Structure 1
């Protein structure tokens, strides 16, 4: 039977087929609506663009059976230990005291990069023993620093990881360790943050700046208000977080409930963070089906 007479042949041409046949030299008014970029980018269609940014990653992750994730947040500015060593050596050669101070600070903070890398490796090594529907996939914001470290750790463990990049005025390029089919790009911060939370079974928060705090407190608000299920929220670095936030003060001032203080757990190492996740889900007591 020839393809044109196949019982599976559709009665109507698909939108894709008609788009491929479309003459791009036609006037704008004549273009198919979904091939007319100027039309799709109109202010009035912002809601449609919200929907497209929600659906594109969602459909892709569903097709790959990605159901559970561990999200790792943290500063884009922390270098790897090797890079920090190079930066310090260059600063010392320059003789500039301010540059040397900055390089020593970055060298001190580079251990956060290494902890994020180790944690992602631990998560991925566990998941690589499990069938796809029981795996935990590492998710980051897709950029440099802590994000690169986490995607790198998953890559080095032989697994896949996800990057949710954002368009910024100072162009943020995706790091090279994200699994290519899971490397997404967003215009809208709100939709990106929704994707962080949709499949999150744990949130790991390394030291960071405004963006990290925004992501942390949005997650805490969703959990506190019951919009999201309770999941482990793990801060890495007692020294940093002890100075950066004071939940006990908020409790004592009556602006949060006493039990809200227990919404976060603070640890210092990747191994401790993984132990919190493993105990919360009893991963050691209940190995995956393939184990």
Structure 2
């Protein structure tokens, strides 16, 4: 019986190369090097996780869905992001100075051709956008309030937005100014969406699927704060209200900022009167105007519900 060798084999190195460590030489077959190069250049030779074209195939959608979910989930966990306040709103409402500059430009253009109906309409819209631009500063102030809370709650509560300009930029900007982290959930679009500059670099994600992005918006959400916006904003608002209405998720506070806008855009009393929602569904949200008012309302909602804004563990109403 031989003794155990004094020196175990190294993890990777060998004294002698194995036969497959070099391609078949041209001295044995002059065509061999070119044939081997063609084989290794074929997409089939790429490992599956390095073959982007393969991953883009229709029958790989399940894998892409898993990756779309898992990358953000893994990194959010790694950064200790447990709870969020989600802020939605129009990308088309800029900060007040930019909105005022747009009004001035439209006025100058109309002065050159006062009878042009298109210029008249464009100026009217620019003025309405400028009127709503005050909410940029409200969202910014609200982001700052939430940002100051991050350290008080074990670095677990952050602002989450869709990562774009307008109201989302404002909320991220406020958190950034408070020295806090904030999250952006961007989406790949035919017309590329750039992230706003106030996101935490390691916490800005770009999704392929809207569905997975929506899941991450609500997975950690402790509140939804919705500023005036269009289709995308309303999509997220109504989906959240539906999930709360059906108790598919544990109810969370929903605040609509800008009552005069929302009462025209969304006539909840009409829906109750028409019998398509119940009176209790009218109470799934409330209106606010200022940042402190929003924050104080969230505090009261959780106090009245007997829950904490930042509980120790995620609160769910079942596996969603």
TM-score normalised over the length of structure 1: 0.86
SS at the partner of 1:164? strand
Q: Note if contact 2:103-2:123 (Cα within 8 Å) is conserved in structure 1.
A: yes
The aligned residue for residue 107 of structure 1 is: 130
How large is the Cα RMSD of the aligned pairs? 2.5
Q: Secondary structure at the match of 1:272?
A: helix
Larger radius of gyration: 2
> How many residues get paired?
269
Q: Aligned-pair distance for 1:99?
A: 4.0
Runs (5+) with no aligned partner, structure 2: 1-8, 13-36, 112-118, 311-320
Determine the structure 2 residue equivalent to 1:235: 256
Deviations 1:54-108 (CA, angstroms, capped at 9, x unpaired): 0011000000110000000000100101111222232333325444323322211
For each residue in 1:112-136, what CA deviation from the matched residue of structure 2 results, as whole angstroms up to 9, or x when unmatched? 111111111111112233322xx32
Give the CA deviation at 1:241. 0.8
Question: Which one of 37, 49, 52 corresponds to residue 67 of structure 2?
Answer: 52
Alignment of 1:1-291 (within 5 A): 26-94=41-109, 95=111, 96-132=119-155, 135-282=156-303
After TM superposition, give the deviation of residue 282 of structure 1 in Å.
Answer: 4.1
Q: 1:286 Cα shift? A: 8.2
Matched residue of 1:77: which SS?
coil
TM-score, reference length from structure 2? 0.78
For the 8 Å contact 2:299–2:309, the answer to whether it is kept is no
In the superposition, relative to structure 1, how do residues 88 and 164 fare at CA in structure 2: closer, same or farther (>3 Å)?
A: same
SS of the residue corresponding to residue 129 of structure 1 reads helix
Once the two structures are overlaid, the 10-residue window that deviates more, 198-207 or 165-174, is: 165-174
* Distance in structure 2 (CA, Å) of the matches to 1:30 and 1:46: 21
SS at match of 1:137: strand
